[in-house]
Structure 1
């Protein structure tokens, strides 16, 4: 899929853009990479062209134009606009996309959508962080150099005249995204709908914060591992990640808004606010709410209320595919090992408190064993192994259902796309000048043909499924998925509880002390 990204820059140094395009940069620190002599290192492969300027004197020509019209002279003015057109990595292997071809597409896109501007068009083939996706950078001076013919996407009369600045509005950005989609459909490259909001919205700021946090955690865990300590946290989680995960877990089983609010508050200390019909969430370590729109469409009011309705519907009918597993969680906790507890060794008062807590947990463990009838360690181990196997089987069944649901969702999407553009395709077949008609309605025809091909491949040459049947199947799969998820959560909780009991029994029987006793005798001798 190709995506379009826009960055507005107030940096008066146009040469910075030239250096970034031609030389290697640290993408995290956004600083150039230098060799042992302190010199810039050229990129291994790039393609660079200038539009209405020489690419190597782009900075000087932009400054001359700005002085000519006395624009871009203050620090708070936007000096340049940076557009990035990133193609899907699969386009390289499946569709034969090369750096040269991408550069030509980028030049075509820039000439069509930014006429009259001085621009740098540069294609990189290594991708961000060596990801391998080919992408095109288009950097334009915000000030137009030449008068151009007025285009349909230009909203103001001055948008075609020299000496006026590039004006990006919401409608203009929508047009630019649509043009990217049309370009990729025409070239038969992978593409998704850029105009639909993302289910999980991750901004650049969050993406880089996640990378920096993960880097710090990896460095810290490396030191802990070298010191013989097993790290408990291996994956960094942003505040938005925490909110998304908590909302996903809470929404998977609740049936009402009140229950949803209560679970978020009790289990995750997250506050939910409803203002003007929109959901906003307060992270326990923040003072400002984060809107559901900033998290993604799956965290907004409309979607979550539909999930609650599905949960209510699924609870009313127990599926015959599997028997529901009901698990009531106990308050059993692990018995702590005082020999490895540094704080207990430093503080006698804390050690005394831990001993009292351990006695309570030991008593609860014994009561648990008697209540459930485990008469030997082997019986307890067998029950734990059986719980692990049941959890694993349910996890596989859940993933299988999720896979089927994803396929049905794709069929619904392409069926809607097929029906929406079917009338245009009929007009195309009936038209006398098919070439001209395709030029005027290329996007609709491409969407229709893509949807038709996908649906035919999915049906295996058979009859295309109706949207009504697909939605009924989706409802059944969603219902099954919710029940399987609830059973999986219960089984996982039961497995975790048995593991706690098993570990406590080993501590009570003193297996750790038995292993350490020969070492003490050897040290005395």
Structure 2
């Protein structure tokens, strides 16, 4: 298969592109390879042509074009565009692809798709790391030298006029890929669909990072083996590959987006987020998210949601939902006093939140009524939630609907008590903070008040220090009101009390949050049971009515 790569360069030295095409360069560092005398080595086999320029004066002619149109004078401007067409290594043996034929195809491709530009077309037959894949380099000056005929991929009139820059739009990029596919198909070469997103997208940057990392790792392992040590890691893994492997493992287990996020965080310390339908993942060693799009289509919303639904369906098939009528009978049958148990909240409250959610009532869901596909999806989700609700009831030992309602009432009362206790502590802490504030205000102006008491001309002293004395008097009055005739507390005592109340507030808030979540979970269970009971009772009445008619 042939693939197309694009590199935009801001390097004003066009001669560097010529030197790269003609002389040998290290595949990792991209630096020229020198002989023993410090001279660059010419590539063993290459084919070079120029379009709208002489290939050996490409740099000078580009500079003349830039000067003529007064363009590419700024450091931040893109000076050239570098396209690489890499053919499948199998094309050499299976389809007779040679360097001459690849060069001919590359020249025709450049003339048709980069008209009006000065271009270098060079074919290399060595490939990366001796792989042998033939590839064609096309380097064009970003400024168009000649006017051309308008083409279908051009968005603006200036895209066909001289003196304007090469504009690589999305439409143009798709067009260029399509032309590569057409070229290979017409010449009987191996080719795949370049316009379909890759399932596992490996960018060129990631590819070379993996190559460099593996090379360094092999070197390190060799040194360890010389010392008689066994290397722990033999394969280098990029950050993106770490995410792919983790997502593949978790996605095969998760049945919902929430479970998927929880497992990623718990097992691999990966943070998952969804923004406007786009999945993103945060590697433990990074501060910036990596989008699912950059990882491949297997890591985006559409594919993963399908996997979650398949896992959920398989789980329901493996663990079938108990007959709803049996659930109804078990919850509505009277319970013997000897077997009845009431769920009581423990004194030291510990709550672990489950994935239980409300069952959707299809009769009142407008979206489900409008879309049959969505209704089917909701039905599968409801089956799963019903099964989890039944399992929850059995695990927590509820023997009847009355037990469940009593547990909810008790949890609600405990949640209310915890909220009131927390509110009392917060009010006390607020009062202590006010005392600290006014005590500080009182102590800051106490010396001025003492000087006022000692002054001979109190009226003049009061006028000069009216603000400070007013603050002192108001602080003293408020402190006395709060102490209710008792001795005023010291600032040290108040700060110690504040620290104690702050710690108590944190503990009480955690307790309140846990009890509130437990209450919400019981409400979800009760709501699901009501829907299950309501549905089953309607079915029973319909069944009894049918039997009466027969």
TM range (shorter): 0.5 to 0.7
1:5 equivalent in structure 2: 5
Cα distance, 1:317 vs structure 2: 4.7
Matching of residue 298 in structure 1 with residue 298 in structure 2: yes
- The aligned counterpart of 2:188 is 188
For residue 216 of structure 1, what is the aligned residue in structure 2? 216
Matched, 1:39 2:39: yes
The alignment status of 1:155 with 2:159, answered yes or no, reads no
Matches within 5 A, 1:170-189: 170-189=170-189
What is the rounded CA distance, in whole Å, between the counterparts of 2:45 and 2:165 in structure 1? 32
Structure 2 gap segments, 5+ residues each = 319-550
2:94 match: 94
Distance 2:266 2:158 in 1: 57
Residue aligned with 2:34, SS: coil
> What is the alpha-carbon distance in structure 2 between the residues aligned to residue 222 and residue 137 of structure 1?
36
Distance 1:57 1:36 in 2: 28
Partner deviation per Cα, 1:259-280 (whole Å, 9 max, x = no partner): 2122111111111111111111
Partner SS, residue 56 of structure 1: helix
User: What's the counterpart of residue 260 of structure 2?
Assistant: 260
Residue 277 (structure 2) aligns with: 277
- Which secondary structure state, in structure 1, belongs to the residue aligned with residue 148 of structure 2? coil
Q: Aligned residue for 2:424?
A: none
Distance (Å, rounded) in 1 between the aligned partners of 2:153 and 2:263:
48
- The residue that corresponds to 2:227 in the other structure is 227
2:307 corresponds in structure 1 to: 307
Q: How does 1:122-521 map to 2 (within 5 A)?
A: 122-317=122-317
Question: Could you give the per-residue CA deviations for residues 137-185 of structure 1, whole angstroms, max 9, x where no partner exists?
Answer: 0000011111222222222112222111111111111111111111111
Residue 56 of structure 2 aligns to a residue whose secondary structure is coil
Q: For residue 324 of structure 1, what is the aligned residue in structure 2?
A: none
2:267 and 2:19 map into 1 onto residues whose CA distance is: 50
The equivalent residue for 2:343 is: none
Distance 2:198 2:58 in 1: 36
Displacement of 1:316: 4.5
Tell whether 2:82 aligns with 1:82: yes
Aligned partners of 2:177 and 2:112: how far apart in 1?
A: 13
User: How many residues were matched structurally?
Assistant: 319
State the match for 1:66 in structure 2: 66
Once residues 290 and 157 of structure 1 are traced to their aligned partners in structure 2, the CA distance between those partners, rounded to angstroms, is 37
The one-character-per-residue Cα deviations of 1:399-455 (angstroms, maximum 9, x if unpaired) are xxxxxxxxxxxxxxxxxxxxxxxxxxxxxxxxxxxxxxxxxxxxxxxxxxxxxxxxx
| SS class of match (2:55) | coil
User: Residues 78-125 of structure 1, C-alpha deviation per residue, up to 9 Å, x if partnerless?
Assistant: 100000011111111111111111111101100001111110000011
CA distance in 2, matches of 1:317, 1:46: 62
Query: Which residue of 2 is the match for residue 110 of structure 1?
Result: 110
If asked which structure has higher relative contact order (CA below 8 Å, sep 6+), I would say 1
Q: How far apart, CA to CA, are the structure 2 residues paired with 1:229 and 1:135?
A: 42
Task: Name the SS of the counterpart of 2:47 in structure 1.
Answer: strand
Aligned with 1:183: secondary structure? Answer: helix
Aligned residue number for residue 15 of structure 2: 15
CA distance in 2: counterparts of 1:163 and 1:193, whole angstroms: 34
> Helix, strand or coil: the match of 2:288?
coil
TM-score, L = length of structure 2 = 0.57
Give the deviation of 1:253 after TM superposition: 2.3
Question: Matched residues in 2 for 1:125 and 1:258: separation?
Answer: 51
Whole-angstrom distance in 1 between the partners of 2:162 and 2:262? 59
In structure 2, C-alpha distance between the alignment counterparts of 1:268 and 1:154, rounded to whole Å: 46
Larger radius of gyration: 2
Cα distance in 2 between the residues matched to 1:209 and 1:203: 10
Q: Distance between the aligned counterparts of 1:190 and 1:218, measured in 2?
A: 33
- Between the aligned partners of 2:241 and 2:89, the Cα distance in structure 1 is 26
In structure 1, how many angstroms separate the alpha carbons of the residues matched to 2:278 and 2:168?
A: 27
Q: Corresponding residue for 2:536? A: none
Per-residue CA deviation, residues 209-249 of structure 1 (Å, 9 max, x unaligned), is: 11221122111111111111100011111111111000011
Q: Deviations over 1:339-385 (max 9, x none)?
A: xxxxxxxxxxxxxxxxxxxxxxxxxxxxxxxxxxxxxxxxxxxxxxx
> After alignment, is 255-264 or 217-226 more displaced?
255-264
Corresponding residue of 2:361: none
> 1:154 and 1:302 mapped to 2: Cα distance?
32
Aligned-residue offset at 1:12: 0.3
Structure 1 residue aligned with 2:400:
none
Structure 1 equivalent of residue 409 of structure 2: none
- The answer to whether residue 28 in structure 2 is matched with residue 28 in structure 1 is yes
CA distance in 2, matches of 1:155, 1:297: 29
Determine the C-alpha separation between the residues in 1 that align with 2:248 and 2:78.
Answer: 39
Deviations 1:269-308 (A, max 9, x none): 1111111111111111112211111111111111011111
The two structures have a TM-score, normalised by structure 1, of 0.59
Moved over 4 A (4+): none
